Amino acid sequence: MVENLLQFEGVSKSYRSKPALKNVSFTVGPGKIIGLLGTNGSGKSTLMKIAAGLIPASAGKVTVSGEPVGLASKAVVSFMPDRPLSEPWMRVRDAVAFYRDFYQDFDEEKARKMLEFMHLEERDKVNSLSKGMNERLQLTLTLSRRAKLYLMDEPIGGVDPVARTKILDAIVEFYSEDSSLLISTHLVRDIERIFDEVMFIRDGEIVLQEDVEDLRLKHGKSVDDMFKEVFAE
Ligand SMILES: Nc1ncnc2c1ncn2[C@@H]1O[C@H](COP(=O)(O)OP(=O)(O)OP(=O)(O)O)[C@@H](O)[C@H]1O
- For the stretch 11-53, pLDDT in tens is 999 998 899 999 999 999 999 999 999 988 999 999 999 999 9
43 CA to centre of ligand 1 in angstroms: 6
Q: With contact defined as beta carbons under 8 Å apart, do 12 and 23 qualify?
A: yes
Residue 169 lies in a domain: yes
pLDDT band at residue 82 under the 50/70/90 scheme:
low
pLDDT of residue 156: 86
Q: What is the pLDDT of residues 85-127, one digit of tens each?
A: 667 789 999 999 999 999 999 999 999 999 999 999 999 999 8
- 126-142: average pLDDT: 89
Domain span including residue 40: 6-230
Is 226 contained in some domain? yes
Q: How many domains does the chain have?
A: 1
Answer whether residue 1 shows pLDDT above 60: no
Which of 44, 49, 83 has most ligand 1 atoms within 8 Å of its beta carbon, as the pocket-test mutant? Answer: 44
Element housing 10 (H / E):
strand 6-15
Residue 39 belongs to some domain of the structure: yes
Ligand 1 pocket test target in 45, 58, 151, 205 with most atoms within 8 Å of CB: 45
pLDDT the model gives residue 186? 87
Q: Whats the size of the chain, residue-wise? A: 233
pLDDT confidence of residue 71: 85
Q: How confident is the model at residue 85, as a pLDDT? A: 65
Phi/psi of residue 48, nearest 5 degrees: -60, -45
Alpha helices in the chain (DSSP H): 44-51, 71-74, 92-102, 108-117, 131-143, 161-174, 188-191, 212-219, 223-230
pLDDT at 150 over 70: yes
Q: Has the ipTM of the complex gone over 0.90?
A: yes
Q: Is residue 165 part of a domain?
A: yes
Q: Ligand 1 within 6 A of 15 CB?
A: yes
| CATH code where residue 39 lies | 3.40.50.300
Question: Could you tell me if the CB of 49 is within 6 A of ligand 1?
Answer: no
| Rounded mean pLDDT, 139-160 | 90
Helices (H) and strands (E) in the chain, counts: 9, 10
Please say if the pLDDT value at position 63 is more than 90. yes
| Residue of 218, 223, 175 whose CA lies nearest to 199 | 223
Q: How far apart are CA 179 and CA 213, in angstroms?
A: 20
Q: Does a structural domain hold residue 1?
A: no
For the segment 164-174, what is each residue's pLDDT rounded down to a tens digit? 888 899 898 88
Please check whether residue 123 lies inside any domain of the structure. yes
User: Sorting pLDDT into bands at 50, 70 and 90, what band is 69?
Assistant: very high
Nearest to 146 by CA among 107, 99, 97: 107
19: helix, strand or coil: strand
Decide: 184 and 39 in contact? Cβ < 8 Å: no
Confidence of residue 161 (pLDDT cuts 50, 70, 90): confident
Q: What is the pLDDT of residue 83?
A: 64
Residue 205 Cα to ligand 1 midpoint, Å, equals 13
| Cα gap 42→81, rounded to integer Å | 17
**Predicted pLDDT of residue 166:** 86
Work out the average pLDDT over 55-79.
93
Arithmetic mean of pLDDT over the chain: 91
